[in-house]
């Protein structure tokens, strides 16, 4: 079900975390699944950004400059796959 197909109205108010979680628990199952998916995607996006940043800071551990090196690596991977 599309997120655009559901209307959620929350008047300006403040909720404690416990109150907010109670609201989520009262949602129907498909909506709770959508909430969980959104949270998981947000966490995965943050982890992916962190991983990319960490990898960008690391020096290269190998250097493939020549076509022969690339072809040798391709052939090795193909052999492993058989």
The percent of residues in the chain predicted with pLDDT above 90, rounded, is 40
Q: Is position 1 within any domain?
A: no
Q: Is position 53 within any domain?
A: yes
The burial class, CB within 10 Å (0-12 / 13-18 / 19+), for 31 is: middle
Q: Is position 80 within any domain?
A: no
CB 3 within 8 A of CB 30: no
Q: Is position 78 within any domain?
A: no
pLDDT tens-digit profile of 42-69? 999 999 999 999 988 988 776 666 778 8
Q: Is position 69 within any domain?
A: no
Q: Is position 23 within any domain?
A: yes
pTM of the model as a whole: 0.52
Q: Is position 22 within any domain?
A: yes
Structural domain of 41: 14-60
Q: Is position 56 within any domain?
A: yes
**How many structural domains does the chain have?**
1
């Amino acid at each position: 079900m599309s997120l655009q197909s559901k209307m959620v109205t929350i008047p300006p108010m403040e909720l404690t975390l416990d109150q907010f979680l109670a609201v989520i628990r009262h949602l129907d199952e498909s909506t709770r699944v959508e909430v969980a998916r959104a949270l998981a995607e947000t966490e995965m996006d943050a982890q992916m950004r962190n991983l990319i940043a960490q990898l960008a800071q690391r020096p290269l551990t190998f250097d493939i400059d020549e076509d022969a090196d690339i072809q040798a690596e391709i052939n090795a991977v193909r052999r492993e796959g058989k």
